[in-house]
Amino acid sequence: MLNAVEVNNLTKRFKGRTAVDSLNFSIKKGEFFALLGQNGAGKTTTIRLLCCLLTPTSGDAVLLGDSIIENPTAVKQKLNVSPQETAVAPNLSVKENLELIAAIYGSNKQEAEVKANKMLTALGLSERARDKAKTLSGGMQRRLSIAMALISDPQIIFLDEPTIGLDVRARRELWKLIRELKGKITIILTTHYLEEAEALADKIGIMHYGKIRMLGSLDQIKEATGQKTLEDAFFMLTEKEVE
Amino acid sequence: MRFLAFSTRNRKELLRDPISLIFGIGLPVLLLLVISLIERSVSGMAEIFSIENFAPGIAMFSLSFIALFSGMLLANDRSSSFLARLFASPLAASDYLLGYSLPLLPIALVQSAVCFITAFFLGLSVSVNVLLTILVLIPVAILFIGIGLLLGSIFSNKQVSPICSIVVQVAALSSGMWFDLHQIGGAFKAVCYALPFAHAVDLAKITLAGGGFTAIYPHLLWVAGYAAVIFALAVRAFKKRMKA
């Protein structure tokens, strides 16, 4: 099996509004896929569908051999997610947050502690291990959020706008962290920062009004649109409907 | 056993934010102390304010704060993306409901125990009936946990607190702890006995007085029935929220 994700005619409608419209794409194992789009383009809804947080109106997606409709429990065991907003337990310490997620994904107490210690070291959180999560800065909370997504050893990780609201330094540090994951697991990133996709992604999907307008590597997108930059290509692919 | 990890987290969250817990235990105890002292000083106060009648009412009132604890915990989790993260995990709906409910049961037992220990100092006889009363109040605690989970599944964290305050007031006013429902009678009594709170207080009063199973059975059934229905509604609302 070469593909980690296969999306087939995936559609989600909310009371007459089509948020995700007949998506078809695949993501290879170990690939870093960035889903770009303006606010309301359908990125987060797509992620929520693939994470089994929403049921599709029609279509399906298969993640590492399991359908999100027929076997969501098996799908959930293979993935983890770092949601768009802060998603930590505020009154638990940094280490306790990590141990909680490890235990929820099936680790016993000892395994959870070993994994938490490993993750604290790997993500530079050891010094704050005993601090309550609510006392961390925004950047550190995002770092913890990503650590919580990684601690279950997922085969696919979803990063939903991981750097939104962060300052330049915190964003650059998070990019470094994300870059280190490349090739080890399949990463699906949603962002509306174009430079983030340019810096990190193997494959980029540009989404607009629920549809994928262009799919390919950075060079393929520039070549297909005849534009010199991703930003120009993005505007070209998305401006018609804006007018 | 994934729910145990989630349950441990919820216990820590509750105990590390103790202001509401202190309020939920302290206010009923304060009321018990004040009313008992007034009852001793003022002659001719109603029989419902004697310690053996008022303590069971206060115990029920104390447990009504559980709805606030469970409702706020769930609603706060919903207001952040923490619950969205968990919804993407292999936890099942039953894991969430057990995880939210289990840590509240020991708190409910402590609430009831504190209430009756205070009542001992105010003249309540020490007997095995007190232990039985604390036990029969468990379904009442489950009822309030269910109410909190239902409200926490439906309303936002800003809405849950005032709505739970209304629940606490309705529970107190309709329970017969402040006035004798049999003396008022009529439609008011009928409405109060259609709700579970007067049955909860009667259940505790009868058990404390040494009444047998036959005497408590109708009230227990009423409270347990309400608890089952409210919990079923909470499960439905929570599952809907998971897919929202």
Query: Which of B84, B91, B92 comes nearest A83 by C-beta?
Result: B84
Query: Which of B4, B16, B85 comes nearest A81 by C-beta?
Result: B85
Q: Are the Cβ atoms of A79 and B82 closer than 8 angstroms?
A: no
DSSP3 helix / strand / coil % (chain A, rounded to 5): 40, 30, 30
Please tell me if residue B91 touches chain A, with a CB cutoff of 8 Å. yes
- Which H helix or E strand runs over A200? helix A194-200
Q: Which of B20, B25, B7 is nearest to B103 (CA)?
A: B7
pTM of the model: 0.85
Q: Which pLDDT score, from 0 to 100, does residue A86 have?
A: 75
The chain A residue lying nearest B83, using CA atoms, is A87
Q: What is the ipTM for the molecules in this complex?
A: 0.85
The chain B residue lying nearest A149, using CA atoms, is B85
Instruction: Enumerate the residues of chain A whose CB falls inside 8 A of the CB of residue B18.
Output: none
As a whole number of angstroms, the distance between CA B236 and CA A161 comes to: 31
Q: Are the Cβ atoms of A91 and B81 closer than 8 angstroms?
A: no
Q: State which of A81-90, B29-38, B62-71 shows the largest mean pLDDT.
A: B62-71
A36 Cα to chain B: minimum distance (Å): 21
Q: Which residues contact A63 (CB under 8 A, 6 or more apart)?
A: A4, A5, A50, A75, A78, A79, A156
Q: How confident is the model at residue A1 (pLDDT cuts 50, 70, 90)?
A: low
* Tens digit of each residue's pLDDT (9 = 90 or more) over A44-55: 899 999 999 999
**Average pLDDT of B226-244?**
89
Q: How confident is the model at residue B37 (pLDDT cuts 50, 70, 90)?
A: confident
Q: How confident is the model at residue B102 (pLDDT cuts 50, 70, 90)?
A: very high
**Average pLDDT of B87-95?**
89
- Whether the per-residue pLDDT at A166 is higher than 80: the answer is no
Q: Which pLDDT score, from 0 to 100, does residue B196 have?
A: 96
- Residue pair A131/A93 in contact (Cβ under 8 Å)? The answer is yes
Please tell me if residue A57 touches chain B, with a CB cutoff of 8 Å. no
Please tell me if residue A123 touches chain B, with a CB cutoff of 8 Å. no
Q: Are the Cβ atoms of A53 and B6 closer than 8 angstroms?
A: no
Query: Which of A55, A82, A104 comes nearest B2 by C-beta?
Result: A104
**Average pLDDT of B95-111?**
93
Residue of B42 and A156 predicted with greater confidence: A156
The full set of domain ranges for chain B reads: 3-243
Query: What are the beta bridge partners of residue A26?
Result: A6
Identity of residue A16 = G
The helix-helix angle for B138-154 and B93-101 (nearest 10°) equals 120
The chain A residue lying nearest B96, using CA atoms, is A104
Q: How confident is the model at residue A240 (pLDDT cuts 50, 70, 90)?
A: low
Please tell me if residue B79 touches chain A, with a CB cutoff of 8 Å. no
**Average pLDDT of A180-206?**
89
Cα B78 to chain center, whole Å? 22
Q: Which pLDDT score, from 0 to 100, does residue A243 have?
A: 43
- What is the 3-state secondary structure of chain B? CHHHHHHHHHHHHHHCCCHHHHHHHHHHHHHHHHHHHHHHHCCCCCHHHCHHHHHHHHHHHHHHHHHHHHHHHHHHHHHCCHHHHHHCCCCCHHHHHHHHHCCHHHHHHHHHHHHHHHHHHCCCCCCHHHHHHHHHCHHHHHHHHHHHHHHHHHCCHHHHHHHHHHHHHHHHHHCCCCCCHHHHCHHHHHHHHHCCHHHHHHHHHHHHCCCCHHHHHHHHHHHHHHHHHHHHHHHHHHHHHHCC
Q: How confident is the model at residue B19 (pLDDT cuts 50, 70, 90)?
A: confident
- Residue to mutate among A46, A47, A104, with most B CBs inside 10 A, is A104
* Tens digit of each residue's pLDDT (9 = 90 or more) over B137-168: 999 999 999 999 999 999 998 999 999 999 99
Q: Which residues contact B187 (CB under 8 A, 6 or more apart)?
A: none
Q: Which residues contact B178 (CB under 8 A, 6 or more apart)?
A: B48, B57, B172
Q: Are strands A186-191 and A32-36 parallel, antiparallel or unpaired?
A: parallel
**Average pLDDT of B14-19?**
84
Q: Which pLDDT score, from 0 to 100, does residue A216 have?
A: 94
As a whole number of angstroms, the distance between CA B212 and CA B209 comes to: 9
- Residue pair B138/B60 in contact (Cβ under 8 Å)? The answer is no
Query: Which of B8, B16, B80 comes nearest A86 by C-beta?
Result: B80
Q: Are the Cβ atoms of B90 and A77 closer than 8 angstroms?
A: yes
Q: How confident is the model at residue B18 (pLDDT cuts 50, 70, 90)?
A: confident
Instruction: Enumerate the residues of chain B whose CB falls inside 8 A of the CB of residue A55.
Output: 243
- Whether the per-residue pLDDT at A241 is higher than 60: the answer is no
Instruction: Enumerate the residues of chain A whose CB falls inside 8 A of the CB of residue B90.
Output: 73, 76-77, 104-106
Q: How confident is the model at residue A238 (pLDDT cuts 50, 70, 90)?
A: confident
Q: Are the Cβ atoms of B85 and A51 closer than 8 angstroms?
A: no
* Tens digit of each residue's pLDDT (9 = 90 or more) over B186-196: 999 999 999 99
State chain A's mean pLDDT as an integer: 90
Q: Which pLDDT score, from 0 to 100, does residue A242 have?
A: 46
- Whether the per-residue pLDDT at A23 is higher than 60: the answer is yes
Tokens 């439906």 belong to residue: B154
- Residue pair B66/B211 in contact (Cβ under 8 Å)? The answer is no
Please tell me if residue B81 touches chain A, with a CB cutoff of 8 Å. yes
Q: Which residues of B98-113 are buried (b: 16+ CB within 10 A; e: fewer)?
A: bbbbbbbeebbeebbe
* Tens digit of each residue's pLDDT (9 = 90 or more) over A75-115: 999 999 988 777 899 899 999 999 999 999 999 999 999 99
- Residue pair A12/A19 in contact (Cβ under 8 Å)? The answer is yes
The chain B residue lying nearest A87, using CA atoms, is B82
Residue of B180 and A50 predicted with greater confidence: A50
- Whether the per-residue pLDDT at A222 is higher than 90: the answer is yes
Q: Which pLDDT score, from 0 to 100, does residue A161 have?
A: 84
- Whether the per-residue pLDDT at B183 is higher than 90: the answer is no
- Residue pair A10/A20 in contact (Cβ under 8 Å)? The answer is yes
As a whole number of angstroms, the distance between CA B240 and CA B244 comes to: 6
Query: Which of A84, A92, A104 comes nearest B91 by C-beta?
Result: A104
Q: Which pLDDT score, from 0 to 100, does residue A169 have?
A: 79
Please tell me if residue A55 touches chain B, with a CB cutoff of 8 Å. yes
Q: How confident is the model at residue A142 (pLDDT cuts 50, 70, 90)?
A: confident
Q: How far is CA A68 from CA A56, A59, A204, B185, B211, in A?
A: 9, 10, 22, 57, 55
Q: Are the Cβ atoms of A87 and B85 closer than 8 angstroms?
A: yes
Instruction: Enumerate the residues of chain B whose CB falls inside 8 A of the CB of residue A105.
Output: 89-90
